[in-house]
Amino acid sequence: MGNNLHVSYDLMDPGQNYDKVIDKIKSLGEWAKIHKSFWYVNSSYTAAEAVNIVWSAMDVNDKLYIFDAKNNSAAWENLSDEVAEFIKNRWLK
């Protein structure tokens, strides 16, 4: 059984290439699209590895958050410092 990744993203600028991002998400493993920008993926990748893969198709001002429900871990790119600190300070409390 793989890792249970929940992938959430925002492409911030109009005209973004959603197909490239979606292809990267689908490449992580077996997937289900839950909402427009929220996916479940059963994957052999960790949250951090998956962030690196998906982020490679995104722009520097986009936002990406991946949570691994199996291993109780998360990784992200370009969340605000306030949000990142909030998550870090409360994750295992």
DSSP annotation of 66: E
Cα 65 to Cα 7: distance, rounded to the nearest angstrom:
6
Decide which of 3.30.110, 2.40.128, 1.10.1660, 3.30.70 is the CATH code for 3-90: 3.30.70
pLDDT for res 48: 97
Mention every residue, 6+ apart, whose C-beta is less than 8 A from residue 54.
7, 9, 21, 24, 25, 28, 64, 66
- pLDDT tens digits, 11-43: 988 777 899 999 999 999 999 999 999 999 999
Q: Which amino acid type is present at position 21?
A: V
Answer yes or no: is pLDDT of 53 > 70: yes
- pLDDT tens digits, 80-90: 999 999 998 99
Domain segments of the chain as ranges: 3-90
Residue 54: pLDDT band (50, 70, 90) is very high
